[in-house]
Amino acid sequence: LAEPKTLRIKTLEPVLLLGKHRFENVDVRIRVKGGGYTAQIYAIRQALAKSLVAYYQKYVDEASKNEIKSILLSYDRSLLVSDPRRCEPKKFGGKSARARFQK
């Protein structure tokens, strides 16, 4: 799996929080592309949490889905909600998105 032990633990956080018994019926395969090594770890972690919530919503009852969601949100909101910050595009009149050429 992931090489530094702290990142390996970060990847398995949803499993450690919710317990293995909730992942018994689920077969998970996650592919990540792009970004850096740490960003990919966080993407895997978020995909695991979101997919389990979606599985419980579709195939199990609503009460257990809400229980799982509240456990995950109380621990770390980034497990279910992605970071909206993106790279701003470059504009004319300068060398980057915000910087302008000197007069």
- List, for residues 38-88, the tens digit of each pLDDT value: 899 999 999 999 999 999 999 998 999 999 999 999 998 989 998 898 899
Three-state DSSP class for residue 52: helix
Least confident of 6-10, 44-48, 95-99: 6-10
Rounded Cα–Cα distance for residues 94 and 18 (Å): 49
Read off the amino acid at residue 69.
Answer: K
**Contact between 92 and 99 (Cβ < 8 Å):** no
pLDDT digits (tens, 9 = 90+) for 19-33: 999 988 889 999 999
pLDDT(2) > 80: no
pTM for the full predicted model: 0.81
